Structure 1
């Protein structure tokens, strides 16, 4: 029996009438007016503000934040669920204007925090009403070097709507409207690119090949426009970095709240893991009776007769396994399902991928994905419910202590996947089942240690290429081919050289390097699992405490104080990969035993 009463989510309870309705228009108008008033107050701040009025402004900026985020989530959910809906497209475009107003309100306060004398800053910190903002304010003061002058930052916020944000919107429209045609054996059918990409996990190799060919052909038709968008998104960031005296990683690392030494240690550990992953690719090729895996084989389920996974069955497994670790997680997952916070319907017109987004004005979340009846979909559901549970914990913090960085944001989601995967593995009784579960686990390792690591290196390469001129389709594809081939240790017969075009994360205007945080989250979750699983009844309280700290502390402090770990030491990340090594060894054994 399904806990979820529908395959679609409930957005009406957020704002009835959709993105073209009266409720949306009223909230948009009210928010616009409130943000304009806040911007005026912000821009009137003197060079050295008095502590009490400054604290009052900061509190008002904090109070309005949940309304802004909720409206962004509302429009984003509608646009993802109906990528060609005119009302959703218009509303999403209008949100850029609102985002510009929100950013404008913070320009002067952030400037003052970076430039005011130390005595004045300490007086601000001493204001009792904003004691909960201490870490945020200290971080803002330290980030003063990342910002231009107040006037330049104001101009930047105003220009973003028709600049970098517009290029991101153009990409979203192009990607959302892309259709491909393929034949799965029952005649030609037209699918969205996202629907077709889901077939990379189909057990039938001819279906995977047809899907890969169709998806690649589809993206080829818009590749030039994607390259143009990527040129201007990358170029804008590069120009701003040059003006600020930064390299491409300075700002993302501050946003991710990790040290450069931590990222260096992670990437070194990933490179060291290549021989281990190479063994997995070779063993999987043997299991599939192939000389080498093709790109569309990497995430294929082993065998053509693997059981499907219904949405109902996945719900049951996830709630049960969450409950074995932490009853509060199971209760939360049940509430999310029964209250229709989750969209899984497989239909044309949806955007590709999956996400979890906060609805902070209601202390709720919404999850978006497309169900495709396999283990991968069940893992995605667990992953996104992990994100949602993380948000649930953070809703107990003041707004200023919900500043969740990308790195730590992926920890709870990956941890949730691990709970379900490890419990399912323990229940496997046949060689074929063990092989499938091990393969699912190693597909995750492949995604993080090979695919995402390659994305990180490719994104760094984009800045090198952009120095030489506009990004061209041929050069982007050549760089993708070279970098992905290296990270997959040359073990694939071919890679997807158009990956740069269809990976949404390269095109998010306000978020560079949305890649290495996944690696961090995957490996850090392994360390968290290793630390908390043996604690029994105390595990939930300890886990909640760690998650609650992620909205306010940096990763190194949390790891040191909660887990006793040094994240700048590559040995820490080697330890996090111990489970991957064990899985590869077990996988090789199962493949050999099955002949």
Structure 2
């Protein structure tokens, strides 16, 4: 196989030790402090203040994205580690500015209202500024916000880093010659040999059990702090804060969760069928990711490039051309190598108005699908990057729209070129992923809801956390599984974030929203690609409800979410009709 290319970051900065990088770091700090001084004296115009504030945010985002991108390709490089630390130091100055800026807006509330109204010179900022004013109402005194930010570094952030470090490094003996980390054990869940999956699962559970005390202490610390700070900031609950940050309301969440709950029997039917296809009396948690059918042919990187461009172009020539440029301009770092992080992500650089994609391409259809997913994110970036910072920052609920939509385009193209066992493998993989996004996500939502309900009464033991987790899985997976995973609370890093609680339902939102959009595109003709682009462009400057209304979708209407679920149901039906071998 040909050597895979490395991404080209030089259009962003020549290097982490370059003059340009250092100058931009200096700019962030000096401009932040200069703006702070002017805000305190009230000596600058509202529009000028907003533009200066956005410029500081752009510089910081550019620096953060670049230093993080460098580090993820070589996690032990001291130069990259230093750069990340430098950016973190600069971000503390910006965090202080953010508090003062929100207070400045609140002091000029009437002016903001007037100038963002219809015909005002700041009309385009209507939603972002109103959102910031609402956020200001939930802000503690500046000195308390500064203290909270400082303490987070040695508190909730430290607990999160502890979970991340332990969750990737704890290990056990696999055989006489081999030691495996818990990450490697979890990777064995996709092994075709059930005995390998079973042994790996048992060893994984034993590892979590051995280290359950520090994991439980970290989770209690994060959730306890979150409850305290959210209460201090005037939120009724962590869920209310999460909904505010997601730009949705309870009515929309209830419609989404209700649709997920209604689909539980559908997914249990699939799980029982998968057990039959694998020749098992019942499915264990360790069998959830077992392969079914025959995997499609392997792809070279060049074939992945051509296939993705072709599928994107069937929907939008502009989108296809964008993907082609991303490949040719070396915006992608696909090679898996020592020192590079696993997984995949997309990141954007506001000053350069470009994106970069990190992946670990493995020459499989799954690798192609991952590239399509991340290129969807990059396409979304390209649509919003021309806008100013406050008008392009979108919430988690809308963050997965373009990625899942793009991934589904490639899935449709792959289905059209497959049959028999290969088609079965593709369909099962899609349904398997949907099960995680709908059923497992619902179990995580139940788990976190219960933890927040019980945490005010005192710390929860590892045994209690396991009990809550298993009960949540029984409510969702039910009799679709014969064995559960009581330690998923230790394995999932999302639980350990104090910045965003309920880091779960936005994934289900993104999946069903994207599938609902795809269904709409099938009945909207040639005008839909332009409507879709308009929708993506608005994701940073409107609420989720307003964004959806641009294409006549009511997010509070269960029937919309059911359309997305109906797409999944079609493939579950196909899978359940598949003959046994």
Q: What's the TM-score once normalised by structure 2's chain length?
A: 0.91
Q: 2:332 aligns with which of 325, 342, 347?
A: 342
Distance 1:544 1:356, change over 3 A: same
Deviation at residue 441 of structure 1 after TM alignment: 1.7
* CA displacement 1:115-152 (0-9 Å, x = unmatched): 54x53433554796644322211222233432223443
Structure 2: gaps (5+ residues) = none
What's the counterpart of residue 574 of structure 2?
586
What's the counterpart of residue 78 of structure 1?
70
Deviation at residue 517 of structure 1 after TM alignment: 0.8
Q: What secondary structure does 1:541 align onto?
A: helix
What's the counterpart of residue 407 of structure 2?
417
Deviation at residue 471 of structure 1 after TM alignment: 4.2
Distance 1:285 1:95, change over 3 A: same
Q: What secondary structure does 1:337 align onto?
A: helix
| Contact 2:114–2:120 (CA under 8 A) maintained in structure 1 | no
| Superposition map of 1:110-121 within 5 A | 110-114=102-106, 116=108, 119-121=110-112
| Superposition map of 1:246-257 within 5 A | 246=235, 247-257=237-247
| Superposition map of 1:396-545 within 5 A | 396-430=386-420, 432-545=421-534
| Contact 1:177–1:349 (CA under 8 A) maintained in structure 2 | no
Aligned residues: 579
Q: Calculate the aligned-residue CA RMSD, in Å.
A: 2.9
| Contact 2:112–2:129 (CA under 8 A) maintained in structure 1 | no
What's the counterpart of residue 259 of structure 1?
249
Deviation at residue 196 of structure 1 after TM alignment: 5.0
Rounded to whole Å, the distance in 1 between the matches of 2:150 and 2:183 is 33
Rounded to whole Å, the distance in 1 between the matches of 2:183 and 2:333 is 15
Q: What secondary structure does 2:408 align onto?
A: helix
Distance 1:485 1:367, change over 3 A: farther
Q: What secondary structure does 2:480 align onto?
A: coil
| Contact 2:447–2:468 (CA under 8 A) maintained in structure 1 | yes
| Contact 1:255–1:405 (CA under 8 A) maintained in structure 2 | yes
Q: What secondary structure does 2:356 align onto?
A: strand
Rounded to whole Å, the distance in 2 between the matches of 1:243 and 1:81 is 39
Q: 1:549 aligns with which of 522, 533, 538?
A: 538
What's the counterpart of residue 140 of structure 1?
132
Rounded to whole Å, the distance in 2 between the matches of 1:305 and 1:128 is 57
Distance 1:8 1:507, change over 3 A: farther
| Contact 1:257–1:405 (CA under 8 A) maintained in structure 2 | yes
Rounded to whole Å, the distance in 2 between the matches of 1:202 and 1:323 is 34
| Superposition map of 1:141-156 within 5 A | 141-156=133-148
Rounded to whole Å, the distance in 1 between the matches of 2:28 and 2:241 is 28
Rounded to whole Å, the distance in 2 between the matches of 1:312 and 1:208 is 33
Structure 1: gaps (5+ residues) = none
Distance 1:395 1:17, change over 3 A: closer
Distance 1:79 1:474, change over 3 A: farther
What's the counterpart of residue 347 of structure 2?
357
Q: What secondary structure does 1:362 align onto?
A: coil
Q: 1:314 aligns with which of 266, 283, 304?
A: 304
| Contact 1:532–1:539 (CA under 8 A) maintained in structure 2 | yes
| Contact 2:347–2:357 (CA under 8 A) maintained in structure 1 | yes
Rounded to whole Å, the distance in 1 between the matches of 2:433 and 2:154 is 38
Deviation at residue 79 of structure 1 after TM alignment: 3.5
Rounded to whole Å, the distance in 2 between the matches of 1:305 and 1:326 is 28
Rounded to whole Å, the distance in 2 between the matches of 1:244 and 1:334 is 46
| Superposition map of 1:569-584 within 5 A | 569-584=557-572
Name whichever of 386-395 and 161-170 sits farther off: 161-170
What's the counterpart of residue 95 of structure 2?
103
Distance 1:58 1:113, change over 3 A: same
Q: 1:10 aligns with which of 8, 11, 29?
A: 8
What's the counterpart of residue 215 of structure 2?
226
Q: What's the TM-score once normalised by structure 1's chain length?
A: 0.89
Deviation at residue 221 of structure 1 after TM alignment: 5.4
Name whichever of 491-500 and 20-29 sits farther off: 20-29
Rounded to whole Å, the distance in 2 between the matches of 1:352 and 1:470 is 33
What's the counterpart of residue 159 of structure 1?
151
Deviation at residue 61 of structure 1 after TM alignment: 0.7
| Contact 2:346–2:374 (CA under 8 A) maintained in structure 1 | yes
Q: What secondary structure does 1:512 align onto?
A: coil
Distance 1:588 1:83, change over 3 A: same
Distance 1:357 1:456, change over 3 A: farther
Q: 2:269 aligns with which of 279, 286, 293?
A: 279
| Contact 2:446–2:472 (CA under 8 A) maintained in structure 1 | yes
